[in-house]
Amino acid sequence: MMQGVYLLPTMSTYQPLHGLPTLAGLASFDDAQKPGLSVEQCVGRLKRYHYAFKRLHEIFLSRLIAEPVYELKMAFSLHAHYCAEHTAALRQRVGEMREPPLGLDIGPDPALEVFFDEILAAPTTEELLLGIYAHALPVLGAALEKHRAETNPLADAPSMRLIKFALLEIEEMDDYGSQAIAGFGAAIGARKAAIGAWLDVLDAALAAAGGLDGTVEKSGKAVVRQYSATPFSYDKIPRRDERFPDPYNMGVNAEVFLYDPLMPPEPKVLMMFYKRLREIDVPEMMASIIVETKGKPWGYYRDMTRQLWDEARHAMMGEAGFVSLGVDWRKVMVNFTWSLVLNTQLTAKERHGVLYFIEQGLMPKTGKRFEWETAQAAHNELSALFQDYDWADEVLHARVGRDWYVSQFENPKEAVDWGDRAWSKALIGWRQWKDEGLTEHRNWWPDVYLDWCRVQGIEPDEKVLAYHETYEAKRADLRTISASA
């Protein structure tokens, strides 16, 4: 360097000051200089990822209700939530890239539509799992990886960030799916030839679409629909697996017990874990609202699916609670009567009204706060923790209700009253189900309570043991049932 003159280093030796990471840590200078995808190419791919996540969201919710396996109901709830979130993020990103109108409600390729239609219409759980977890998610993940490898990491940094988070959750879903498919290995093996022929249809549809991202040459071959040749009609009758032997049972009114001041707090924890586990029926009911409600902004589907996932999470809190107590939850007769009646007797708007009405009943001191205080009084740390988060979730759900349900009415009172009337319209088939031999409404509480007492090493309280209030005459909000078939 000459005196008084500073010579810049050549670009081949250029380094940031103090040896700091280049370009905010996003990329090296070499990577930042590669050509990458144009905005048009990037948007074309993003729209296909968006379509894939949106269709997967639809598939998870459309198949959740009639899927009998409890664990799959819970996984579908979570994975639908993931897909709703990534759909929202991709919609926003496309809107940032000179794209209005977005055109995101139009399928990007007819063959890709067939691909997802076939998975939606899969006739058994085995095909459904293979379609989602062995085909759709892996090819979506591969497309995102390809985008990450081919785009400019500096110019397209916002897309890179969305892809990074999407790949994390796709990997998680893939891991779950691999284990689920392994669990159904025997059933899949027994129908290997038929399932294999159908998987060939999926591969042919992808080839005709030019791959999920549309970046490979299209096969030019017509795709022949198999399962989706008949338009899919989702089944909104809830089904349960063999661990739910008496799903019509309404023989134990948990709320009457919980709010009885003469009952001690400790066994109320057991009843609250039952109430949490029983929330399986909320995703079963909410899925039908979301599937049947068309034409809303994506924020509606995102928020409602978040609530659906929260309710599934609450059910798993109940499951974990029974495990923590050393009590077999399979002895608790977890029914599906609420989701069954609402799904089959009310409109989607009426179901949403019932949901919002119930949420409002959980806001006062006699609602979620009371359950949290009861868990604290029982000195059960896990129950107190679960109820603390359950309470927080319900505050969020009340906001979702205000945004997407109450907004359809003149005022909140009208919305609440309408939901109350909708619930009163639903006919509980208490006597009918018993007369048809579907249930005896057996009081299962004494057996479960005695098991808990044995694990606790305590003598049963005769008053608690004798509890026998049913749902024949009272709803879960303790209102008198106006009609019982």
Q: Which residues pair with 428 in a beta bridge?
A: 484
pLDDT-based confidence at residue 339 (cuts at 50, 70, 90): very high
Roughly how many angstroms between the first and final C-alpha of the chain, as a whole number? 97
Give the pLDDT score at 7: 52
Give the pLDDT score at 484: 38
Average pLDDT, integer, range 248-276: 96
Give the pLDDT score at 1: 44
- At residue 5, does pLDDT exceed 60? no
3-state secondary structure the chain: CCCCCCCCCCHHHCCCHHHCCHHHHCCCHHHHCCCCCCHHHHHHHHHHHHHHHHHHHHHHHHHHCCCCCHHHHHHHHHHHHHHHHHHHHHHHHHHCCCCCCCCCCCCCCHHHHHHHHHHHCCCCHHHHHHHHHHHHHHHHHHHHHHHHHHCCCCCCHHHHHHHHHHHHHHHHHHHHHHHHHHHCHHHHHHCHHHHHHHHHHHHHHHHHCCCCCCCCCCCCCCCCCCHHHCCCCCCCCCCCCCCCCCCCCCCCCHHHHHCCCCCCHHHHHHHHHHHHHHHHHHHHHHHHHHHHCCCCCHHHHHHHHHHHHHHHHHHHHHHHHHHHHCCCHHHCCCCCHHHHHHHHHCCHHHHHHHHHHHHHHCCCCCCHHHHHHHHHHCCCHHHHHHHHHHHHHHHHHHHHHHHHCHHHCCCHHHHHHHHHHHHHHCCECHHHHHHCCCCCCCCCHHHHHHHHHHHHCCCCCHHHHCCCCCCCCECCCCCECCCEC
Residue 43 CA to chain centroid, in angstroms? Answer: 28
CB 374 within 8 A of CB 258: yes
pLDDT-based confidence at residue 121 (cuts at 50, 70, 90): very high
Give the pLDDT score at 9: 57
Phi, psi values for residue 428, rounded to 5°: -80, 125
Give the pLDDT score at 135: 97
How much is the pTM? Answer: 0.94
Give the pLDDT score at 482: 47
- At residue 483, does pLDDT exceed 60? no
Nearest to 362 by CA among 251, 473, 259, 483: 259
Lowest average pLDDT, out of 16-25, 340-349, 470-479, goes to 470-479
Which tens digits make up the pLDDT trace of 431-456? 999 999 999 999 999 999 999 999 99
Look over the chain and give the mean of its residue pLDDT values, rounded to a whole number: 93
Give the pLDDT score at 425: 87
Which tens digits make up the pLDDT trace of 189-199? 999 999 999 99
Q: Which residue has the higher pLDDT, 106 or 339?
A: 339
Cα distances from 382 to residues 178, 324, 379, 464, in angstroms, run: 31, 8, 9, 22
Which tens digits make up the pLDDT trace of 341-381? 999 999 999 999 999 998 887 766 678 899 999 999 999 99
Average pLDDT, integer, range 4-33: 81
Which tens digits make up the pLDDT trace of 82-101? 999 999 999 999 999 987 77
- At residue 457, does pLDDT exceed 80? yes
Lowest average pLDDT, out of 260-269, 374-383, 418-427, goes to 418-427
Average pLDDT, integer, range 93-122: 92
Which tens digits make up the pLDDT trace of 123-165? 999 999 999 999 999 999 999 999 999 999 999 999 999 999 9
Average pLDDT, integer, range 43-53: 97
Lowest average pLDDT, out of 87-101, 298-312, 314-328, goes to 87-101
- At residue 478, does pLDDT exceed 70? no
